[in-house]
Amino acid sequence: MTSLAGDVRDPEHQDAIGAAVARHGRLDLLVHNASELGPMLPLAEVPEPLFTSVLETNLLAPLSLTQRLLPYLIASRGILLGISSDAAVEHYPTWGTYAASKAALDHLILTLGEENGVRAYAVDPGDMRTAMHQAAFPGEDISDRPLPESVIPHLLELLSGVQPTGRYRAADLAPVGANR
């Protein structure tokens, strides 16, 4: 496994990822987890540059990176995974910028999977105790939300190959090792 920290919007970082995959010779799993919350404003008030910035992070960078790496995913019969949100399918006031980008990401991931014969998943991990979630609820105590690593066993269940391509909520997936 190789890990490369960087900004997924940066073409040079995408080049570095592509080079690392090429050196390894295969790609079994591509996870799009980078995300930008954007302004918590009614959509009618969101300045276009702020909306564009969110789309660059949450939609355009995943598309660009997937396009670069798709031949490796196809060759290995790999999996394409997009981390989504309930905001992609629910309508919350002031969440429209983020929600629209996540709804589009879901569609992008699942369409790329369908078009290219790779398993593809859009997964809503649920509310989690992250800096981004805290930014959405300034001044509120979110310590009751689970830590991000609590979702991993649910994701592993999804990646085990039992579930068909589609959109899932992590909470609906039995964690790996749970009695079925």
Distance of alpha carbon 109 from alpha carbon 106, whole angstroms: 5
The terminus-to-terminus CA distance of the chain in angstroms comes to: 30
Q: Compute and round to an integer the Cα radius of gyration of the chain.
A: 17
Q: Token pair for residue 155?
A: 């994701």
**What are the residue numbers of the active site?**
98
pLDDT at residue 80, rounded to an integer: 97
The mean pLDDT value for 169-174 works out to 89
Check the CA dihedral 88-94-98-104 and report its sign. positive
- 40-59 tens-digit pLDDT: 999 999 999 999 999 999 99
pTM for the predicted model, two decimal places? 0.91
pLDDT at residue 177, rounded to an integer: 64
Contact 48, 86 (CB under 8 A): no
pLDDT at residue 103, rounded to an integer: 98
- Banded model confidence at residue 7, pLDDT cuts 50, 70, 90: very high
- 97-128 tens-digit pLDDT: 999 999 999 999 999 999 999 999 999 998 87
Q: Token pair for residue 78?
A: 């790999």
pLDDT at 179 > cutoff 60: no
- Banded model confidence at residue 157, pLDDT cuts 50, 70, 90: confident
CATH C-level class of 27-172: alpha beta
